[in-house]
Amino acid sequence: MSTYPWDNLLTDEEREVIRLGKYGQTRGLGHAPAVLIIDCQHNYIGADAPITAQQEQWPAGGGERAWAAVRVIGELLTHARETPAPVIYTRNVQKQTARFDMVSAKAGWDHSRTLEGDPGAEIVPELAPRAEDIVIDKAYASAFWGTPLLTYLVQLKADSLIVAGVSTSGCVRATAVDGITRGFHTAVVWDGVADRTQLSHKASLLDLWMKYTDLLSGKEAAGYLTEIGRERRSAPPTP
């Protein structure tokens, strides 16, 4: 467990609970992955600066830690696009007719920033979708709730999900858990996600690892995608 962000938070007793309970076992991944990039929008990435220094402009932004995740995701996308794996983005976007925004209402953020067409709702240029990518708009934490994501995954014949983006404790966690619930092998890219508080970030990753998903570094996820691409290229053509 020494490679994971929560390592210095665990007591000896908690380590023993994990060992005895056999938590953190790998589920493994399949042979037809899709890459999910969650909410990498200006609103939630913010500026590449210490989080409190950029919060006046981007109250929901993750700051420099979110930008560290963006760089990992950028490398992952480079590898993904050399393989058959589809890339699917999500955006938290409210329609002009919405009278409230359930995601940000609790914090009292400026709802107009989440409206469709506002620059804050756009994906950061460093991770800009390509024409062949899928972009799904959502209004709540899970990318599966009230969206056609499941239909797309079924049509693409995906059996596995590689999840990255923001925030770890919110939309990433909700999407990853819902992916497992719907029968997909799911891995979260632990250095390709970020949160506004390190406690939420580390505790969420620990919880996902213990009970729900696999965790991969960006390099491990890229290696997996590269191997899948090699398998696909060497497979005999379907009759």
Report, as residue numbers or ranges, the catalytic residues.
171
For residue 42, is it left (φ>0), alpha (ψ between -120 and 50) or beta? Answer: alpha
Q: Cα–Cα distance between 99 and 53 in angstroms, integer?
A: 30
Cα–chain-centroid distance for residue 114? Answer: 19
The secondary structure of residue 8, as a DSSP letter, is G
Strand, helix or coil at 190? Answer: strand
Count Cα atoms within 13 angstroms, Cβ side, for 13: 0
Provide the b/e sequence for 98-111 (b: ≥16 CB within 10 Å): eeebebbeeeeeeb
The secondary structure of residue 122, as a DSSP letter, is S
Are 7 and 134 contacting, i.e. CB atoms less than 8 angstroms apart? no
